[in-house]
A and B are shown apart, each in its own frame.
Chain A
Amino acid sequence: MEECLNARSGAELANSIAARAGVKLHECYQCGKCTAGCPMAHAMDLMPRQLVRYMQLGRMEEILGSKSVWLCASCHTCVERCPHSIDIPSLMELSRQAAKARGRVGVKTVDMFSGIFMQNVKMFGKSHEALMEGVYNVTTGRFMQDMENVPHMLKNKMVGIEPHTTNNPEEIKALIERALEMGGEDA
């Protein structure tokens, strides 16, 4: 069954996301240069160009349920190359937040990683790689993931058993508190 374009149920959300990202959606003429340069496109279910197209048509359903918004690495290659400098990473990020707010998580591991990372930062003021890796592996149930790299990384002091801490972890905590007060999402 074809989709009826008159129903633009997500138009309001799409427009508010575009406004917050500082993007004029109508400027995109769908050349696809963004997708062509995207290093994550191979893993995405919705290409960056298609994400903008769905937003133009006021259709957020496909975007909120997509993996792509979770897979975007925010590398900004797309913006750099776009003839209209359309800020796709911001559209991706804001769409991801909107999805999360609706309890929709396209790629669970990405969401978990993000949460563990933020807990780490709250605890130490910096991320503690060894702990983070361990917790991530335990949470995902993939205990041995990346373990073959551990001896090499320990030997070369790329990770350590002891956490690195900042001089003033309280300040970092205060920063995070403030971000949450301002409406940031909690880990």
Chain B
Amino acid sequence: MSRIGVVVCHCGTNIAGVVDVERVAAEAAKLPNVVFAVTNKYTCSEPGQATMKAAIEEHQLDRLVICSCSPRMHEATFRRMLKDTRINPYMLEIANLREQCAWVHTDKEKATEKAIDLMRMAVAKVEQNKPLFTSTIPIHKKCLIIGGGIAGIQAALDVADAGYQVTIVEREPSIGGHMVMLDKTFPTLDCSACISTPKMVDVGQHPNITLMTSSEVVNVGGYVGSFEVTIKQKARYVDHTKCTGCGLCETKCPTKVPSEFNQGYNKRTAIYKPFAQAVPAKPVIDPDSCKMLKEGKCGVCAKVCPLGCIDFKDTAKEYTETYGAIIVATGYDLIPWQDLYGEYGGGRYADVITGLQFERLVNASGPTEGHILRPSDGTEPKDVVIIKCVGSRDPHKGKSYCSRACCMYSAKHAHQILEKLPGANVYIFYMDVRTPGKGYEEFYDRTRADGAVYIRGRVSKIYKENGKLVCKGEDTLLGKPVSVQADMVVLATAMVPAVGVEKLTTMLGIATDPDKWVQEAHPKLRPVETQTGGIFLAGTCQGPKDIPDTVAQASAAAVKVCGLFSKDEMETSPMISGVDQQKCCGCGFCVNCCPYKAISLVEIDAREGARRVKKTVASVNSGLCQGCGCCTAACRTGAIDLSGYTNAQILKEVDALCL
């Protein structure tokens, strides 16, 4: 005979305003085995919890039903409360009378009837509950950071400064990401490289940080506390243990190809450092352009290298390590506007450039040494048009979202043009101006005071006429079609997730939204976590954002990692799947449907009558299983069951409702 207690919460007027809570409690008292049923104004409050604890002792309760808000809200609160009582924390059921009843209904009579049904289901289920016990898993206090942009750099420094080991994996030959390519940052006009390169150097010199450039994650296994990660380092053809970064090889290399760092506006050599302040400050050979690697002729770099660092026979290497936590900081790329916007020339006009290309043109270490010159003929532009929302807020051709940083960097570009080119005119076509940040609106004001002409409307077409780029649009504030004859056009193109991020998210078993940004666990309350324990997010991999937000998020993710690493082991939820090997037919259906890659097929010794046989059955990894229940729904023989949500419990709930 079980002894069940039922507490019906008013939640102020949240529930009691719609549901007759006294009637729900009275109905509960009539149910078999319910020995205690009351209402409470605020069950989650200190006095509310004290009332329940007293009742458990007084009435010798062995299970509890709380009719209150969603279990997402307070299940953890009530389980913690039960830890100090004679009841196992898992002998608790919560009937959601708030989100799934009071908040969504207005008819008091019908809402009360529904509340009574929900309560009866919970009572029926709790009868079947069994005590469950948490187990612990060890935590390897080493953090993997995927991506070496400003997000990865900041997170790495924060975790490393806290005393934990960190590995950064970066696929390019240097860390730094997009930030180091920018000229100045809004709204303070700090030199972007000047504030980011010291951090890069710190990463390179930090005793707790291992830097793996030219590398990519190729396999991820395991679970929070102990992820088994395989990292592939591409062949660099330069022995970085010997190389001092003297740069002699770069000066002698005869092959010149467009520089990725400078957006193709000047050339780099085949053996190269991407930019002067690269970390590590050592060159690599680009096998796609190196004459020696392609044709077997040349080898000048090897001849001039005083330390003999060049190794044309270098191959890719794979390393496997165990990490306790992973921070995803893979960043963004710009939308391929040339393929989408034929009306803007689709890349046919050399003087229609992106904001990132403009950053290189205006940067003192860029291809023009900071002089704003048109790419087509190297002359100074007099009339410059900036077009915002190219690919953003355009569900037809681009993305439906706002890329968040463009309004501000466009204002910054306008300011830079007006400052560096006296007498120049800047026209900015915009849909809305969004400046939500400290000092941002003031910067926008200043740009207009500088003389930038803002025109509300989208440019519909750019065409060439008499050597000018004619931009046609409408000034929607005047309601009139307008045109501007420009010498140069800068497009504020949309941010999109970094190329190849899908492969990585699949490997990690983390969700993405329809635009392929990595999905956070909760948009407001868990913005740097993923649904998978131990995997965190930093920066633009989660969605477009500017540098301050990126850095803040990176530090937040680092704190989450440090919090995890502050313990030697962690508790795991006991509400996970288990396989009845007798019933399992080894079909593997559950393996395919598990979103966390927690189920695998194993071979066991079994008996068939008197014979010993080998049998293939499913096996659940208790560290990976998140208790979602997909497998129990998919299992055709009913061999998999989820503790806390067993088939028997759910059937009792259905019976309570239907019989």
| Given A24-B449, A26-B448, A30-B456, A4 and B478 contact (CB-CB distance below 8 Å) | no
CB within 8 A of B484: which of A5, A29, A54? A5
Q: Within 8 Å CB of A50, what residues of B?
A: 477-478
CB proximity of B414 to chain A, nearest CB, Å: 12
Pair A4/B484 contact, Cβ less than 8 Å: yes
Which residues of chain B are within 8 angstroms of A5 by Cβ–Cβ distance? Answer: 427, 453, 455, 475, 482-484
Interchain CB contact under 8 A, A6 and B383: yes
Q: Please, how many angstroms separate the alpha-carbon atoms of A100 and B126 in the complex?
A: 89
> Which of A4, A27, A30 is within 8 Å of B485, CB to CB?
A4
A24-B449, A26-B449, A27-B448 given as contacts; is B481 within 8 A of A2 (CB)?
yes
Please give, as numbers and ranges, the residues of chain A lying within 8 Å of B425 by CB-CB distance. 6
Smallest CB–CB gap between B481 and chain A, Å? 4
B445 at the interface (CB under 8 A from A): yes
Assess the A6–B484 pair: CB atoms within 8 A: yes
Which of B427, B449, B456, B472 contacts A2 (CB under 8 A)?
Answer: B472
Cβ of B348 within 8 Å of any chain A Cβ, yes or no, is no
- Chain A residue with the shortest CB-CB distance to B444: A29
A64 to B449, CA, bound (A): 25
Contact of B480 with A by CB under 8 A: yes
* Contact (A30, B477) CB under 8 Å given A2-B472, A5-B427, A56-B453: yes
Q: Does A3 reach chain B (CB closer than 8 Å)? A: yes
Contact residues, A13-43 vs B (CB, 8 A): 24, 26-27, 29-30
What's the nearest-Cβ distance from chain A to residue B434, in Å?
A: 13
Tell me how far the C-beta of A149 lies from the nearest C-beta in chain B, rounded to whole angstroms: 40
Nearest chain-B residue to A53 (Cβ)? B477
Q: Which residues of B contact A53 (CB under 8 A)?
A: 475, 477-478
A119 to chain B minimum Cβ distance, whole angstroms, is 39
- Complex Cα spacing A3 to B456, Å: 15
Question: A27-B448, A30-B456, A56-B453 in contact; A2/B483 too (CB < 8 A)?
Answer: yes
Cα separation A124 to B572 with both chains bound (whole Å) = 98
Residue contact B481 to A3, C-beta cutoff 8 Å: yes
Interface residues of B in 418-432 (CB under 8 A from A): 425, 427
B484 to chain A: closest CB distance in Å? 5
| A-contact 0/1 string along B198-227, CB 8 Å cutoff | 000000000000000000000000000000
Determine whether A57 belongs to the interface, using a CB cutoff of 8 Å to chain B.
yes
Chain A residues with CB below 8 A from B478, complex form: 50, 53-54
B473-504 vs A, CB cutoff 8 Å, 1 = contact: the mask equals 00101101111110000000000000000000
Establish whether residues B482 and A4, one from each chain, have CB atoms under 8 Å apart when the complex forms.
Answer: yes
- For A4, A6, A53, the residue with the greatest tally of chain B CB atoms inside 10 Å of its CB is A6
The residue among A4, A5, A24, A57 with the most chain B CB atoms within 10 A of its own CB is A5
Q: Which residues of chain B come closer than 8 Å to A27, judged between CB atoms?
A: 445, 448-449
Give the docked Cα–Cα distance between A24 and B449 (Å): 8
Map CB proximity to A onto B446-462 as digits: 1 under 8 Å, 0 otherwise.
Answer: 00110101011000000
Q: Could you tell me the distance between the alpha carbons of A6 and B383 in the complex, rounded to whole angstroms?
A: 8
Q: Which residues of A contact B456 (CB under 8 A)?
A: 30
Q: How would you classify the secondary structure of chain A's contact residues: helix, strand, loop or mixed?
A: mixed
How far does the alpha carbon of A56 sit from the alpha carbon of B451 in the complex, in Å? 10
Q: Which residues of B contact A30 (CB under 8 A)?
A: 456, 477
The answer to whether B477 touches A4 (Cβ under 8 A) is no
Q: How far is the CB of A19 from chain B (nearest CB, A)?
A: 14
| Least distance between A155 CB and chain B CB atoms (Å) | 50
Q: Could you say which residues of chain A place their CB within 8 Å of the CB of B472? A: 2
Q: Which chain B residue has the least Cβ–Cβ distance from A32?
A: B477
Residue in B closest to A49 when the chains form the complex, CB atoms? B477
- Are B480 and A2 in contact (CB-based, < 8 A)? yes
Alpha-carbon gap, A26 to B452, bound state (A): 9
A3 and B477 contact, CB distance less than 8 A: no
State the CA gap A179–B284 with chains docked (Å): 80
Q: How far is it, in angstroms, between the C-alpha of A5 and the C-alpha of B482 when the chains are bound?
A: 7
The 0/1 profile, CB within 8 Å of B marked 1, for residues 37-67 of chain A is 0000000000001100110110000000000
A50 to chain B: closest residue by CB: B478
Kindly report which residue of chain B lies nearest to residue A52, judged by CB atoms. Answer: B477
Q: Say yes or no: A2-B482 contact (C-beta < 8 A), given A24-B449, A27-B448, A57-B453.
A: yes
Q: Enumerate chain A residues within 8 angstroms of B427, measured Cβ to Cβ.
A: 5
Chain B minimum-CB-distance residue to A30: B477
Within residues 162 to 187 of chain B, which ones have a CB less than 8 A from any CB in chain A?
none
With a cutoff of 8 Å between Cβ atoms, the chain B residues found around residue A54 in the complex are 478
| Residue among A4, A29, A56 with the highest chain B CB neighbour number at 10 A | A29
B421 to chain A, nearest CB (A): 16
| Pairwise interchain contact B483-A4, C-beta atoms closer than 8 A | yes
Task: Say yes or no: B480 contacts A3, CB within 8 Å.
Answer: yes
A4 to B480 CA separation, bound complex (whole angstroms): 11
Given A30-B456, A30-B477, A50-B478; A6-B449 close (CB under 8 Å): no
Bound complex: CA A53 to CA B482 (Å) = 13
Complex CA gap A49/B478 in Å reads: 9
CA distance in complex: A5, B468 (Å): 14
The interface residues of chain B lying within 8 Å CB-to-CB of A49 are 477
CA distance A2 to B482 in the complex (A): 5
Nearest to B481 among chain A residues (CB) is: A2
Task: Report A-chain residues with C-beta under 8 Å of the C-beta of B455.
Answer: 5
User: Smallest CB-CB separation from A1: which chain B residue?
Assistant: B481
In the bound complex, how far is the Cα of B484 from the Cα of A53, in angstroms?
16
B453 contacts across to A, CB distance below 8 A: 5, 56-57
User: Which residues of chain A are within 8 angstroms of B484 by Cβ–Cβ distance?
Assistant: 4-6
* CA of A50 to CA of B456, assembled, Å: 13
A83 to chain B, nearest CB (A): 12
Q: Chain A contacts of B480 at CB under 8 A?
A: 2-3
Minimal beta-carbon separation of B456 from chain A (angstroms)? 7
User: Which residues of B lie under 8 Å from residue A3 when comparing CB positions?
Assistant: 480-483
| Docked CA distance A29–B447 (Å) | 13
Q: Shortest Cβ distance from A51 into chain B, in angstroms? A: 11
Residue from B449, B472, B478, B481 whose CB has the most chain A CB atoms within 10 Å: B478
Most chain A C-beta atoms within 10 Å of own C-beta, residue among B383, B477, B480, B485: B477
Q: Which of the listed residues B427, B456, B472, B475 has the most CB atoms from chain A within 10 Å of its own CB?
A: B475
Q: Are A6 and B448 in contact (CB under 8 A)?
A: no
CB distance from A130 to the nearest CB of B (A): 45
Q: Which residues of A contact B448 (CB under 8 A)?
A: 26-27
Name the CB-closest residue of B to A4.
B483
Q: Give a binary string over A123-159; 1 marks a CB under 8 Å from any B CB, 0 the rest.
A: 0000000000000000000000000000000000000
A166 to B119, alpha carbons, bound, how many Å? 91
A5 to B471 Cα, complex, angstroms:
10
**How many angstroms from the CA of A146 to the CA of B484 in the assembled complex?**
51
Interchain nearest-CB distance for B444 vs A (Å):
9
**C-alpha gap A5/B383 in the complex (Å):** 11
**A–B complex contacts, Cβ < 8 Å, 13 sampled:** A2-B483, A4-B482, A4-B485, A5-B455, A6-B425, A26-B451, A27-B449, A29-B433, A30-B456, A50-B478, A54-B478, A56-B453, A57-B453
A6-B484, A24-B449, A54-B478 given. 14 additional CB < 8 A pairs? A2-B481, A3-B481, A4-B485, A5-B453, A5-B455, A5-B475, A6-B485, A26-B445, A26-B449, A30-B456, A50-B478, A56-B453, A57-B453, A57-B475
A-B pairs with the 3 shortest C-beta distances?
A2-B481, A26-B448, A2-B483
Which of B's residues lie within 8 Å of A, judged by CB? 383, 425, 427, 433, 445, 448-449, 451, 453, 455-456, 472, 475, 477-478, 480-485
- What residues of chain A have their CB less than 8 Å away from a CB belonging to chain B? 2-6, 24, 26-27, 29-30, 49-50, 53-54, 56-57
